[in-house]
């Protein structure tokens, strides 16, 4: 079975309070981004154990602890699954705030559910996904949502960006989640996110923001430089995604965004949402 775990974008991201469990409460709107990895799930050869092979972008961790393997182990513990051979071709950059690793884990759950006819509901798959990471559950249904608490509780959102042209720039800068959160102080949002996103797109620049952007830009000025380039190129809205360091721009009209003059080490995705 071959699946294509896609990334996500954050439309607004507010860190609102500290939780007793050490996490932070947040508010954000998640939308799917069609920048995708490829994940293959096959039966393991006779006598072989479950294993993961990797190609594409390097992943700096032991494959045995990869979220795809952990997703298999969660289901195997409850359903006694036979060994599988997993292969992940990594395309979505790591440490970019695009949720690529979380998507891989969620799509592994979905693929295993289908491969072995487990008939697990979306709600049940989400409960497994939450055990793997705060935003993993989003990728089970993979539809725009208003996310809150740890980013793992969702409400429907009336927002349709289908067909909107988008350009995402990853400057090759890995910002760890721990570092990003250490630089942000919880606060009440300056604007109600759902109300702000219900307004015309050309108003978002003044009302929809990402708390990580203000916290990280003084230390990583390249983020502000990319954002300004996107606005200069005609973006109607531009922002950091997640805890960074990918910056995206939304462009109106029928044409795809223009190519930007960027260093060759940057990774760029341009297309439609």
Q: Does the annotation flag 127 for ligand binding?
A: no
* 99 labelled ligand-binding: yes
My answer on whether omega of the bond before 190 falls inside 30° of 0, hence cis, is: no
Examine the residue annotation and report whether 143 is marked as an active-site residue of this protein.
no
| Residue 200 is assigned to a ligand binding site | no
Q: How far is CA 151 from CA 10, 96, 108, 147, 185, in A?
A: 11, 17, 20, 5, 17
Establish whether 100 is an annotated binding residue: yes
From the list 37, 135, 152, 211, the catalytic residue is: 135
94 is in an annotated binding site: yes
Please provide the DSSP assignment of 171-235 as one string.
-S----HHHHHHT------SS-HHHHHTS-GGGHHHH--BHHHHHHTTT-THHHHHHHHHHHTT-
Active-site residue, from 8, 104, 211, 227: 8
Residue 172 known to bind ligand: no
Using a 10 angstrom Cβ sphere, with 0-12 exposed, 13-18 middle and 19 or more buried, the burial of residue 253 is exposed
Active site residue 192: no
Q: Does 226 appear as a known binding residue?
A: no
Element (H, E) at 122: helix 122-130
Annotated ligand binding at 234? The verdict is no
Establish whether 133 is an annotated binding residue.
no
Active site residues: 8, 135
Q: List residues forming the annotated binding site.
A: 93-103
Q: List residues forming the annotated binding site for ATP.
A: 93-103
């Amino acid at each position: 079975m071959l699946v294509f775990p896609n990334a996500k974008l954050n439309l607004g991201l507010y860190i609102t309070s500290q939780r007793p469990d050490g996490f932070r409460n947040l508010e954000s709107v998640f939308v799917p981004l069609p920048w995708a990895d490829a994940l293959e799930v096959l039966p393991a050869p006779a006598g072989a154990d479950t294993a993961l092979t990797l190609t594409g972008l390097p992943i700096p961790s032991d494959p045995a602890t990869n979220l795809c393997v952990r997703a298999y182990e969660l289901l195997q513990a409850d359903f006694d699954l036979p060994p599988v051979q997993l292969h992940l071709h990594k395309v979505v950059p790591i440490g970019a705030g695009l949720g690529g690793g979380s998507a891989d884990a969620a799509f592994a759950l979905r693929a295993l559910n289908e491969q072995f006819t487990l008939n697990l509901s979306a709600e049940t798959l989400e409960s497994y996904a939450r055990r793997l990471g705060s935003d993993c559950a989003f990728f089970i249904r993979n539809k725009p949502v208003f996310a809150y608490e740890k980013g793992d509780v969702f409400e429907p959102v009336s927002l349709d960006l289908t067909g909107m042209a988008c350009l995402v720039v990853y400057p090759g800068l890995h910002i760890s989640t721990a570092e990003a959160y250490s630089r942000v102080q919880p606060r009440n949002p300056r604007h109600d996110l759902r109300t702000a996103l219900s307004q015309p797109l050309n108003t978002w620049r003044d009302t929809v923001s990402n708390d990580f952007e203000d916290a990280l830009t003084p230390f990583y000025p390249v983020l502000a430089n990319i954002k300004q380039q996107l606005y200069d190129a005609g973006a109607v809205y531009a922002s950091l995604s997640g805890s960074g360091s990918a910056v995206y721009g939304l462009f109106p009209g029928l044409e795809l965004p223009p190519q930007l003059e960027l260093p060759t080490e940057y990774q760029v995705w341009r297309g439609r949402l």
